Structure 1
Amino acid sequence: MRRVVAMALALLLLLLVGVVAAYLLFLNHTLTANVKHQSLLPTPGVSGAAAPPARKAAAKDAQNILIIGSDSRTTVAEGRSDVIVLMHVAADRKTVTLVHFPRDLYVSVPGHAKDKINAAFAYGGAPLLVETLQNLIGVPIDHVAVLGFDGFQKMTDAVGGVDVYVEEPGSSTAYKYHKGYQHMDGAEALAFVRERHALSEGDISRGRRQQAFIKALLLKSLSRSVLTNPVTLARFVDAGTKNLAVDNGFSVADMRSEAFSMRNLRSSDIAFVTAPFTGFGTAPNGGSIDIVDEPGMQALGEALQNDQMSTYTDQTHTP
């Protein structure tokens, strides 16, 4: 009898391993089939692109991943860059900092003099935006991910909605937003992050909304309710990758490894800041701009270069 029980348990274990392996293969197939790999990082010497800044020894294995939200209705990596967020993952993988760069930030764009930072994406796509940012903060950008807005909405619905912290209450055509945490489905979240004209600081306020939403979605995607639910996880992976383009060096294995390394993150481990600016102004062509805080930008760059963003966010009193 014991031999029969042992054989039954062994068979059950074999079946379980087979199911898990098949599921992992399915997820891997989804990632491989959906994710688009493109030339999103600048190639030194091509179109005048310079080599990226040298990585400082203090940074160790910290990662800087540029997240671009595109409103394109055609190719993902085209259109305007309405979301520009640099995700700094600490070397010990215990903290993540989301740095929002307002799209009207007035900076030097290689080959195009000074302009709004999102003009870099319009002029030369992700590679020129990466080069612009690397010149601005002096840190190499390791990877780039461009996600169409439709992808944000579908990812949110795939995990059953997200709980977003609303800093500034307000309303859109179809929704009302109250101060504090608010559960949002995909359509509501998309309206939340797109609004700017009704907000107190326009694009700056919208940037804080985008950070709050990205944080909520990141936490939900790494939660036990998603990671341990095969159906939910499969839907999330499919939704998130159908409208996703990444740089050619960001392999599926790298993405899986990076996500796994951040599985223990909690809300308090994720901070968000806005790239420093001193106020608002008008460009020579008459457009509204955000004026860079030069000393503040230097301090941000040094914190990123030396993997000291935890100290930086403490000093800047970010939420």
Structure 2
Amino acid sequence: MTQHDLDSLTEGMDGGGDGGEEQHRRKDRRGVKRALIVLGAIALLLFGSVAGFVGYLGYTVNDNVKQEDLLPATRDPIKAPDGTDVKETGTGTNYLVIGADTRPGDAGRSDVIVLVHVPQDAKTIQMIHFPRDLYVSIPGHGKNKINAAYAFGREPLLVQTMEQLLKVRIHHVVRTDFDGFENMTNAVGGVRVYAEEASNGSGNGGPVIIKKGWNNLNGEQALGFVRERYTLSEGDISRGRRQLAFIKALFLKATSTETITNPVKIARFTDAATKNLTLDQTLTVSMMRDAAIDLRHIRSGDIVFATAPFTGFGTSPQGASIDIVDTKGMADLGEAIRTDTMDDYGDVFVTP
């Protein structure tokens, strides 16, 4: 045994004196160095994975989302009843959200017409459901149900109809379909929705039974929930409230900690949410991202709903069932949207 071997052996023994302590310090330093290298490698791997994941999500969105000419080609001044121009004094943003039921026989009709108003401070999301049987004036087509505007001239004519009805500017249009609702629900593992009344309807796969109160719904059940109207007390009016409740539930689930900390759920939801999504020609993906960032602090009580004002039900000259517009109420609603004073509009908003 050499002296070097003996020294090494004695340094490693308990009670080895100052030499043993120095050896331990050297080993500790080497151990810390190794740990830092390992942690650095892990951090680099995680950063690379996150960057790759974000890149994947960006690619998915850009690949899935479509853009079409959903806004009118020309935007005429909005006229008041006396013929004068109505100036847009508000600073919020108005999104017209259109949802179509893709079942055979429903092509060309919009079953979801929701105006989403986001105030300038982005502290709330205010959604107004417009019943599809609302009897209104359609430019170039006389009076008819509001969803007939979609059938006559798709999104641009519906936008013109809405602007004339409310005397407000529609800034952007978003279109999706009911299949997107089902896929998004499954992507986040289901949603919890409150039903004002029970129903026994159907989805793509069969009967969908909804109880009064809270319901935990998968995609198939959610589809039946938003489609049903025949067994509800106020038909399309009740269905509209259901659709708004579902949209809120889906929004809250998609932005919950449970979802945003799960990369698999995020990827699935992003794909499902954008696969059937069409934006107007001026609304870009980056604008949608910026809007989402502005709304990141939104909580359950900040999302409020209302139904566009109507006075009751009636029959059109052609014999169709219609919802009669509350002219005064609609004017007040338009004024509140236009001036970004929806908080003062009245006790019409609910938070289901």
Percent of aligned positions that are identical: 52
1:103-151: CA deviation from partner (whole Å, max 9, x where unpaired)? 0001111111111100000001011111111111122112111111111
CA RMSD of aligned residues (A): 1.9
The equivalent residue for 1:132 is: 161
The equivalent residue for 2:216 is: 183
Distance (Å, rounded) in 1 between the aligned partners of 2:44 and 2:277: 35
Deviation at 1:277, TM superposition (A): 0.2
Amino acid across the alignment from 1:40: L
> Which residues of 2 match residues 1-319 of structure 1 at below 5 A?
1=30, 2-44=32-74, 50-51=76-77, 54-56=87-89, 59-60=90-91, 62-72=92-102, 79-173=108-202, 174-312=207-345, 314-316=346-348, 318-319=350-351
Distance (Å, rounded) in 1 between the aligned partners of 2:338 and 2:261: 35
Distance (Å, rounded) in 1 between the aligned partners of 2:261 and 2:225: 29
Distance (Å, rounded) in 2 between the aligned partners of 1:178 and 1:73: 25
Deviation at 1:51, TM superposition (A): 4.4
1:170-222: CA deviation from partner (whole Å, max 9, x where unpaired)? 22241222221111111111111111111111111111111111111111111
SS at 1:144 equivalent: strand
Larger radius of gyration between Structure 1 and Structure 2: 2
Distance (Å, rounded) in 2 between the aligned partners of 1:64 and 1:189: 26
SS at 1:196 equivalent: coil
TM-score by length of 2: 0.83
Change (3 A) 1:263 1:165: same
- Report the number of matched residues: 309
Amino acid across the alignment from 1:204: I
Amino acid across the alignment from 1:10: G
Distance (Å, rounded) in 2 between the aligned partners of 1:54 and 1:226: 42
Distance (Å, rounded) in 2 between the aligned partners of 1:98 and 1:317: 9
Distance (Å, rounded) in 2 between the aligned partners of 1:282 and 1:34: 42
Distance (Å, rounded) in 1 between the aligned partners of 2:143 and 2:35: 74
Deviation at 1:236, TM superposition (A): 0.5
Distance (Å, rounded) in 2 between the aligned partners of 1:66 and 1:191: 23
Preserved contact between residue 72 and residue 79 of structure 1 (Cα < 8 Å): no
Preserved contact between residue 102 and residue 179 of structure 2 (Cα < 8 Å): no
Deviation at 1:287, TM superposition (A): 0.7
SS at 1:316 equivalent: coil
Amino acid across the alignment from 2:76: A
Amino acid across the alignment from 1:13: A
Q: Which runs of 5+ in 1 are unaligned?
A: none
Distance (Å, rounded) in 1 between the aligned partners of 2:283 and 2:33: 49
Moved more, 237-246 or 165-174: 165-174
SS at 2:158 equivalent: helix
1:34-69: CA deviation from partner (whole Å, max 9, x where unpaired)? 11110001111xxxx62466431xx32x22111111
SS at 1:291 equivalent: strand
The equivalent residue for 2:24 is: none
Change (3 A) 1:205 1:20: same
Amino acid across the alignment from 1:138: K
Deviation at 1:73, TM superposition (A): 5.9
Preserved contact between residue 71 and residue 79 of structure 1 (Cα < 8 Å): no
Distance (Å, rounded) in 2 between the aligned partners of 1:30 and 1:17: 20
Distance (Å, rounded) in 2 between the aligned partners of 1:69 and 1:221: 19
Distance (Å, rounded) in 1 between the aligned partners of 2:87 and 2:170: 10
Distance (Å, rounded) in 1 between the aligned partners of 2:180 and 2:297: 24
Higher relative contact order, structure no. (Cα contacts within 8 Å, ≥ 6 residues apart): 1
Distance (Å, rounded) in 1 between the aligned partners of 2:103 and 2:153: 18
Distance (Å, rounded) in 2 between the aligned partners of 1:232 and 1:201: 36
